[in-house]
Structure 1
Amino acid sequence: MFRTILVTASLLVPGLTHAQSGPAGERVEVNGMQMYYEVSGEGDPLIVLHGAYMNIPSMGAIIPKLAESHKVYALELQGHGRTTDIDRPITYPNLADDVAAFMDKVGIGKADIFGYSMGAAAGLQLAIRHPEKVDKLAAASVSYDAEGWQPEFKAFIPQMTVDMFVGMPFAEDHRKLSADPDGFPALVEKLIALEHEQMAWEEDVKALKTPVLIITGDADVTTLEHSVAMFRLLGGGVMGDMGKPLPASRLAVMPATSHTAIIGQPDLLHAFIEPFLKDETPTGMFE
């Protein structure tokens, strides 16, 4: 769940910049901010949550693919894209509460959630804090404990500074979209602070009743062992073909895939997410 420098690469991939065209956006007041969102497609509601330093267009082609069979509500979170910032830290519980408040404002009682990186952790906290609002959660590059990050990333966090980010290409992207073009350094400060947020959600994850699809790259910022441990907390990792239904949660590992390469593979992402949301499972020999 690399929410800072690794995200820069995904924003440099052709086709993932803010120049993409898309549905007309709307704004709604949420917890003191003006939250920007776009609606596309028809069907059951599906809320899409982006990663840190990202926005709706930088999520790329996965949004229109999901909109082929769902009514997609793509959100821009606090201080990101066209959503205004407020005098409040960016934390996962805060982001989760913002999504819950958004759902109340636009009249969504319950929805599926797809989140990537920071958005995946926000989606996990939404399922923990507001389980009545989440049908299923597809979480790409998610951790439930900071100890699950790769050692290289844990060692890098204390070295992060605002100056590392103000010259990055996505800083200009922020200036073009944001209602506060000069507010990027303040956003960086909040996102660096987010990297230091204590994450120890094991008991909360174990208690979840919400089905979760964990999507990870085999070279992600989260270790494979951590993703497997999370899957087991959710009841996964058991043997099939023994006459019992498979667990509701699932684990998908994307091969030859780093953290920033996840969102750039919309076809593979969609092939994992869509059957999960539709409760489709492969048929075994004994069925």
Structure 2
Amino acid sequence: MYRAFIVTALLAVAGPALADDRRVGNRVEVNGMTLYYEVSGEGDPLIVLHGAYMNIPSMGEIIPMLAETHRVYALEFQGHGRTTDLDRPITYPNLAGDVAAFMDAAGIEKADVFGYSMGAAAGLRLAIDYPEKVDQLVAASVAYDFEGWQPAFRDFVPQMNVEMFLKMPFAAEYRELAADPDGFPALVEKLIALEHEPMAWGEAVKALEIPVLIITGDADVATLEHTISMFRLLGGGVMGDMGQPLPESRLAVMPATSHTAVVNQPELLHAFIEPFLQGKTPKGFFE
């Protein structure tokens, strides 16, 4: 997704995921496609959703780190990695519906969700459309409205075309895992179309009743102002130390971090995510 073009830079430099012999790959029929997923770790269920043009390996070391304390289900979206494509557009409601259908197929009634970039927006849409399925949401590098993207990115969207992506190193790498090695151009067309999909979810975000951890880089694709606006919609941004409990939702800003650098800092990501999922809050002087 968003950040389609930018994410390709990440894929060109990201290192391999930590070796983890406990990961088990599997496939399941979901909404007319064969969806690939991997399961690792033990504990409460946690679903991990990657960004556009990515796959499970390109999410890097954060997956095995989270698997130390959670039963992690890492999914590969429509047309990505080893999951097949089908004659259907890639939209956020469709992606969210795929995750919901996967949960039904895998017997997961409710789970925490961690998504990055396109996966974060899909996770946000999952929480909006299927609130009964999401316990807590971690959304890294996300927006709830197209106007929340940086002006430079909004200006770039109309210039996107398939040819520029075919020249990326990722175009060749796609063939290594793809269910259809020749399916990359069709995937690019769908992901470019995704950038043009209407996106204005403010009222739906405000109505969410689950805890949400928003993670952003200070030089991310969404503006800091938009990210703070989202945090306020979720009840955040109030003053603590006034005798009232803090809001359940949280905001974390990663310093000196662009969009593609977010998942390249797994230790920092984990330091934000794990306390949130465990419900741990730093203690102040008055507690």
Which interval holds the TM-score relative to the shorter structure?
Answer: over 0.9
Cα RMSD of the aligned pairs, angstroms, is 1.3
**Alignment partners' CA distance in 2, 1:50 and 1:279:** 24
Pair 1:172-2:135 in alignment = no
2:58 maps to what in 1? 58
1:151 maps to what in 2? 151
1:11 maps to what in 2? 11
How many pairs align?
A: 286
Question: Counterpart of 1:5 in 2: which secondary structure?
Answer: helix
Is the CA contact (8 Å cut-off) linking 1:20 and 1:57 kept in structure 2? no
**Alignment partners' CA distance in 1, 2:178 and 2:81:** 5
Matched ranges for 1:83-232 at <5 A:
83-232=83-232
Is the CA contact (8 Å cut-off) linking 1:45 and 1:70 kept in structure 2? yes
1:33 maps to what in 2? 33
CA deviation string 1:119-155 (max 9, x = no partner): 0000000000000000000000010000000000000
Question: Counterpart of 2:137 in 1: which secondary structure?
Answer: strand
**Alignment partners' CA distance in 1, 2:234 and 2:32:** 35
**Alignment partners' CA distance in 1, 2:19 and 2:88:** 30
Q: CA deviation at 1:43?
A: 0.2
Identity of aligned residues (%): 76
Q: CA deviation at 1:16?
A: 4.0
2:264 maps to what in 1? 264
- List gaps (5 residues or longer) in structure 1: none
Question: Counterpart of 2:247 in 1: which secondary structure?
Answer: coil
**Alignment partners' CA distance in 2, 1:20 and 1:86:** 31
* TM superposition outliers: structure 1 runs of 4+ over 2 Å: 19-24
**Alignment partners' CA distance in 2, 1:117 and 1:170:** 17
Q: CA deviation at 1:188?
A: 0.1
**Alignment partners' CA distance in 1, 2:86 and 2:20:** 27
Pair 1:80-2:80 in alignment = yes
CA deviation string 1:63-116 (max 9, x = no partner): 000000000000000000000001100000000000000000000000000000
Pair 1:245-2:245 in alignment = yes
Question: Counterpart of 1:197 in 2: which secondary structure?
Answer: coil
Q: CA deviation at 1:20?
A: 6.7
Is the CA contact (8 Å cut-off) linking 1:140 and 1:215 kept in structure 2? yes
**Alignment partners' CA distance in 1, 2:249 and 2:227:** 12
- List gaps (5 residues or longer) in structure 2: none
Is the CA contact (8 Å cut-off) linking 1:13 and 1:264 kept in structure 2? no
CA deviation string 1:159-202 (max 9, x = no partner): 00000101211112211111110010000000000011110000
When structure 1 is superposed on structure 2, of 88-97 and 169-178 the one drifting more is: 169-178
Question: Counterpart of 1:251 in 2: which secondary structure?
Answer: strand
**Alignment partners' CA distance in 1, 2:65 and 2:167:** 32
**Alignment partners' CA distance in 1, 2:200 and 2:264:** 29
**Alignment partners' CA distance in 2, 1:46 and 1:173:** 28
**Alignment partners' CA distance in 2, 1:286 and 1:80:** 49
TM-score normalised by L of structure 2: 0.97
Question: Counterpart of 1:260 in 2: which secondary structure?
Answer: helix
2:67 maps to what in 1? 67
TM-score normalised by L of structure 1: 0.97
Is the CA contact (8 Å cut-off) linking 1:78 and 1:84 kept in structure 2? yes
Question: Counterpart of 1:213 in 2: which secondary structure?
Answer: strand
Q: CA deviation at 1:3?
A: 2.2
